[in-house]
Structure 1
Amino acid sequence: MTNKTGYTVKIADNEIEFDLIHRLNYKTFVEEIPQHEINERGYLVDKFHAENTYIISLDGHKLAGMVAVRGHRPFSLDSKIPDLNSYLPENKKICELRLLTIEKEYRRGYAFYDLAKNLVKYCRENNYDYAIISGTTRQQKLYKHIGFAPFYHLVGKEGAFYQPMYINVEKLEMGLGKLLNRIETGEKERQIVNLLPGPVELHAEVIKEFEKPAVSHRGESFINDFNIAKNLLCKYVSSSKVEIFTGSGTLANEAVAAQLSDIKGTGLILACGEFGERLVKIADRHGLDFKLFKKEWGEVFTRKEIVEFLDNELPECSWLWTVHCETSTGALNDLSMLEEVSSERGIKLCLDCISSIGTIPLNLSNIYLASGTSGKAVGGYAGLALVFYNHDIKPSENIPLYFDIGYYNSKNGIPFTIPTNSVYALKRAIELLSREDKFAKIKAISSFLRQELLSLGLKVIIPEQYSSPAVITFALPLGLCSKKFGQIMGEKGYLLSFNSYYLIERNWAQACIMGEININYIEGFKKSLMEALNK
């Protein structure tokens, strides 16, 4: 029947309509979502076509949208989920929804609402209590808004992942009422853009891994997966070995300091921001013998400066420790230069790489010790500390047991309890990092954001050639409180870093590109900046 929105919503019942269905099926699940193989006909007939009931929405003779309903077992999900019944409500009549799609030009209007409203009517007429669906990960916000509940991890393949979900028919009807209200009032769901250095927006597959039941950290299967995760981490940064501790990135630096305390000689710490100065505090508490070369925040170290300091202050330097990406400013110290200076003088080079792993290409094969974390740009949940190294380390009775890298190595990396959920999330995160070209994406978003800030006359603390692309620190004009500015930007959907005491003291804010960010969501950044600056 034709409704007030102009669409004709009906059950497909003729060859002309079936032809339109097969063509839209191909357009959606071959060209847009690469689930099926390309063919010359541009035609895709569903394997359950003979059993499907198609509810379609027509705009004149054009197919605006469709959904296939089927109540016969086995469902499509039966082949993807072992013992599917164990996840579904008992003693309920259930149908499976498939091939749900709306033509791109109709996705912002009433087409989906009208189609779904008639779907509810069909389900009621056929006494269905629940509907299950494999919903594309590209439309999870819509599904959740309506009321669909996930019940299993993602299925499918790279580029065409789906989330198994179910919904009570009554709840579906209620969810459509909420959707209709949004359509009629013109209300848009705000896209939150996470520009924090942490916690970052996580990939859906990482979240799914974390939400699985915990397992024994002594189980054979977990130990095998744990070692796979370690190998992936090492391969990603070209390091020979890594140990994983339970704790934050700061704990990783504590472990580095503990290891340095077992080395004879005087070291050098380079500091040009909050986290370099934190290394100094850690070194002091571990009783390390070192000299400090400190520069102003917003500066980076040059080869000439370091060589002159070593010549004049510390000609017999045992180790050098600094932050690669100084998160408080965005300054990126030159890794190749640091390696050259250290190699020339036989210095053991140690780096805090917490904010650089996953943001720029890294080769840590010549680094003595390097710290990292499971969070930030690595893309896992915070809470696992990483220490990379390229030499044999034996247990030492001079080092507290929990910080003893050699002890971890002697116990195959798991001397103590470790949260298995976090490890599995980390494993999936590093698998995704290894497949995706995240660096190019970060660079593109960074260039866009930096240009928008500069175009409004804001001072960016670190020039682009000396800055990490993943951290853009900028100063707010006199008279405008950075904390208030950050809160306004948050209300507009852009989560900036501004609450740290060192940022508040300097009236700075930061835009960081470390997590899952859709470049399309930042188009309104400049407009929001202008409004926040003028409030």
Structure 2
Amino acid sequence: MSLIYKIATKASEFEQILTLNYRTFVEEIPQHEGNNSRTLIDKFHDENTYIVCMKEEQVIGMICVRSNRPFSLDGKIGEVEQHLPVAVENPCEIRLLAVDPEYRNGRAFLGLAQALIRYCLKLGYDAALISGTTREQKLYGQLGFQPFAYLTGDDKAAFQPMYLTKATFDEGIAGRILKEQINFLPGPATISESVKTALSASPYSHRSKGFEILLQTVQKKLTTLVNAKYVQILHGTGTLANDVVAGQLSLLPRKGLILVNGEFGERLVNHAERFGLDFDVIENSWGFPFEEERIVEVIRKEEYSWLWAVHSETSTGVLNDIDMLKKICQLYNLQLSLDCISSLGAVPLNLEGVLFTSGVSGKALASYSGLSFVFHNVEVHPNKSLPRYLDLGAYSVAGGIPYSQSSNLVTALAEALKRYDYPEEEYEIINQRYQLIRNGVEEAGLTILSEKNHSANTIMTVLLPEDISAKELGDNLYLNGYNLHYESSYLVAKNWMQISCINNVEENDIKKMLSILKGLCNADREPSVT
């Protein structure tokens, strides 16, 4: 079974920590006096965060992090900043590095160091300080620790003050073999080397003929991908694109209808409110698709001119039915607009008959965040009642270049779109990845919010039992090298975790993540110690 790294929270883990602490710093390194309980409680125990290495339910290694001042090193050598050869602003102290002698083959030490650096970077620490026993100076050096100041302790147990930064870690053995975090986030996307290279090219003027040709090429590629007549490329996020759509809807007669079955449907409502649109809402429970009969029932009671909905509801993993919405809108003479931010590039899209559609560069298209799109199937004209930057017509009449634009971002997007010469292949790869992950999650005994036949293959929302914290689970997966989505406010409030399938992740890495996910979930489920 793989070794698993996690933050200690369970009583059984802390019991083993106290025993390992005693065996290491009383019996092996004579730093403290012995006692009959054969356990050692650190003087900063209540302030420590313990990162432990687990083999099944056994704690085989540990290291702890503490940021409260004064550090123990401050008491031994004075203020540590006066001795450090590098400037630091937010240091932490690392203490109690210990591994069971049976597992001192380097793997556990290495894993603890890697988990430590991930933890420190996530919390914004720029240096980690340690009193390293002189018996293990070579090991500390391999992990990237550098000596400073002078020895402390005594002849029986001498210690060298040492520091670790991201730079020194990268130069050590642990840093050189540390893999990048495996990305299961819905954004930002994992960027290929060719797209990185494209972004780093020398910028050139957005008023040049070269940029005009580049933009037209990208626009053609995008409209062909989704079967739309026009697309305008905006410099901003999907929020900008949806504001632009809201601006266009404000020009339509009569009131509209917005469909909500998740966080991003609610955000469409917020866009509409800020533009002062006249609209009604059909709201479904999160995780459930819309029923045609219910929409039709509402439409028959009032005269609407437009309908706005999210295609792939990222917050729940539900894929709403575009064909059904098209049929309803055609039958009742409504103009349909869609948020396809999370579905563009991940599933086949046919936007024929859709008035306005929003999309972005930084999700399934796997380019850099910073560009968003508004697709449209009718010609649009400038309107002075709209803010200049939100006026879709201003982009259209200017050939897509009304204001300053970044040649680097558009060049990177052009490179990313080369994957879509044969889009069906990309869609199938994402679908296979989704099936593999979904099966693994369900085999781990966890529940997916959306039913399979109404699910987007881009992301899944995992419902966690009350005795498993999504925050703790996500943090622990991060320590093991996996980035999952769990920190957005709506996920925290519901104790949900999400796994995105849009990024290029090798099958072996997926299986390792699923194994660690299962191991963490199957760990002792006694109440956490607070």
Fold-level similarity (TM above 0.5): yes
- 1:383-532 to 2 correspondence within 5 Å? 383-435=370-422, 437-532=425-520
State the Cα distance separating 1:190 from its structure 2 match.
3.9
Residue 240 of structure 2 corresponds to 251
Contact 1:262–1:398, Cα closer than 8 Å, also in 2: no
- 1:336 aligned to which of 293, 304, 323: 323
State the Cα distance separating 1:396 from its structure 2 match.
1.0
Query: Which residue identity lines up with residue 282 of structure 1 in the other structure?
Result: H
Contact 1:249–1:371, Cα closer than 8 Å, also in 2: yes
SS at match of 1:372: strand
Output the CA distance in 2 between the equivalents of 1:435 and 1:491.
37
Residue 300 of structure 1 corresponds to 289
Query: Which residue identity lines up with residue 324 of structure 2 in the other structure?
Result: M
SS at match of 2:368: coil
SS at match of 1:377: coil
SS at match of 1:479: coil
- 2:253 aligned to which of 254, 264, 286: 264
State the Cα distance separating 1:382 from its structure 2 match.
0.6
- 1:381 aligned to which of 338, 344, 368: 368
Query: Which residue identity lines up with residue 209 of structure 2 in the other structure?
Result: E
Cα-to-partner distance string for 1:331-374 (whole Å, 9 max, x where unaligned): 11001100000011111000000000011001111110000011
SS at match of 2:475: helix
Contact 2:307–2:336, Cα closer than 8 Å, also in 1: yes
2:357 paired with 1:370: yes
State the Cα distance separating 1:397 from its structure 2 match.
1.5
Cα-to-partner distance string for 1:314-335 (whole Å, 9 max, x where unaligned): 2x11000010001000111001
Residue 195 of structure 1 corresponds to 184
SS at match of 2:409: helix
Output the CA distance in 1 between the equivalents of 2:229 and 2:255.
26
SS at match of 2:357: strand
Query: Which residue identity lines up with residue 479 of structure 1 in the other structure?
Result: D
Output the CA distance in 1 between the equivalents of 2:230 and 2:489.
35
- 1:284 aligned to which of 273, 276, 280: 273
Distance 1:228 1:290, change over 3 A: same
Give me the TM-score of the superposition, normalised by structure 1. Answer: 0.64
Output the CA distance in 2 between the equivalents of 1:499 and 1:444.
26
Output the CA distance in 2 between the equivalents of 1:373 and 1:191.
24
- 1:29-40 to 2 correspondence within 5 Å? none
SS at match of 2:364: helix
Q: Which 10-residue stretch deviates more, 284-293 or 393-402? A: 393-402
Cα-to-partner distance string for 1:240-271 (whole Å, 9 max, x where unaligned): 10001111001000000001111111100000
Output the CA distance in 2 between the equivalents of 1:453 and 1:519.
14
SS at match of 1:523: helix
Query: Which residue identity lines up with residue 460 of structure 1 in the other structure?
Result: I
Percent of residue pairs bearing the same amino acid type: 36
SS at match of 2:415: helix
Contact 1:376–1:514, Cα closer than 8 Å, also in 2: yes
Output the CA distance in 1 between the equivalents of 2:288 and 2:323.
17
Output the CA distance in 2 between the equivalents of 1:516 and 1:223.
31
Contact 2:318–2:456, Cα closer than 8 Å, also in 1: yes
Query: Which residue identity lines up with residue 287 of structure 1 in the other structure?
Result: G
SS at match of 1:287: coil
Contact 2:460–2:499, Cα closer than 8 Å, also in 1: yes
2:230 paired with 1:231: no
Query: Which residue identity lines up with residue 293 of structure 2 in the other structure?
Result: K
2:326 paired with 1:351: no
Output the CA distance in 2 between the equivalents of 1:516 and 1:452.
17
Residue 87 of structure 1 corresponds to none
Residue 323 of structure 1 corresponds to 310
Contact 2:245–2:374, Cα closer than 8 Å, also in 1: yes
State the Cα distance separating 1:433 from its structure 2 match.
2.5
Output the CA distance in 2 between the equivalents of 1:391 and 1:486.
44
- 1:14-25 to 2 correspondence within 5 Å? none
Output the CA distance in 2 between the equivalents of 1:400 and 1:439.
37
State the Cα distance separating 1:479 from its structure 2 match.
1.9
Query: Which residue identity lines up with residue 338 of structure 1 in the other structure?
Result: L
SS at match of 2:337: strand
Contact 1:200–1:516, Cα closer than 8 Å, also in 2: no
State the Cα distance separating 1:515 from its structure 2 match.
2.4
Give me the TM-score of the superposition, normalised by structure 2. Answer: 0.65
Contact 1:348–1:367, Cα closer than 8 Å, also in 2: yes
Contact 2:186–2:485, Cα closer than 8 Å, also in 1: yes
Structure 1 unaligned residues grouped into runs of 5+: 1-177
Contact 1:201–1:517, Cα closer than 8 Å, also in 2: no
State the Cα distance separating 1:191 from its structure 2 match.
5.9
SS at match of 2:417: helix
Contact 1:267–1:318, Cα closer than 8 Å, also in 2: yes
SS at match of 1:480: coil
Output the CA distance in 1 between the equivalents of 2:226 and 2:292.
24
SS at match of 2:256: strand
State the Cα distance separating 1:419 from its structure 2 match.
1.4
Output the CA distance in 2 between the equivalents of 1:244 and 1:251.
11
Tell me: higher relative CO, structure 1 or 2? Use CA pairs within 8 A at least 6 residues apart. 2
Cα-to-partner distance string for 1:469-498 (whole Å, 9 max, x where unaligned): 111101111122101100111122221000
Residue 5 of structure 2 corresponds to none
Query: Which residue identity lines up with residue 519 of structure 2 in the other structure?
Result: E
State the Cα distance separating 1:520 from its structure 2 match.
3.1
Query: Which residue identity lines up with residue 247 of structure 1 in the other structure?
Result: G
SS at match of 2:281: strand
Contact 2:231–2:374, Cα closer than 8 Å, also in 1: yes
State the Cα distance separating 1:188 from its structure 2 match.
6.0
Q: Which 10-residue stretch deviates more, 348-357 or 482-491? A: 482-491
Output the CA distance in 2 between the equivalents of 1:190 and 1:247.
31
SS at match of 2:414: helix
Contact 1:375–1:382, Cα closer than 8 Å, also in 2: yes
SS at match of 1:371: strand
Output the CA distance in 2 between the equivalents of 1:472 and 1:331.
8
- 2:211 aligned to which of 196, 210, 222: 222
Residue 100 of structure 2 corresponds to none
RMSD: 1.8
Distance 1:489 1:218, change over 3 A: same
Distance 1:188 1:384, change over 3 A: closer
Contact 2:306–2:335, Cα closer than 8 Å, also in 1: yes
Output the CA distance in 2 between the equivalents of 1:529 and 1:374.
30
Output the CA distance in 2 between the equivalents of 1:377 and 1:300.
22
Output the CA distance in 2 between the equivalents of 1:230 and 1:190.
36
State the Cα distance separating 1:454 from its structure 2 match.
0.8
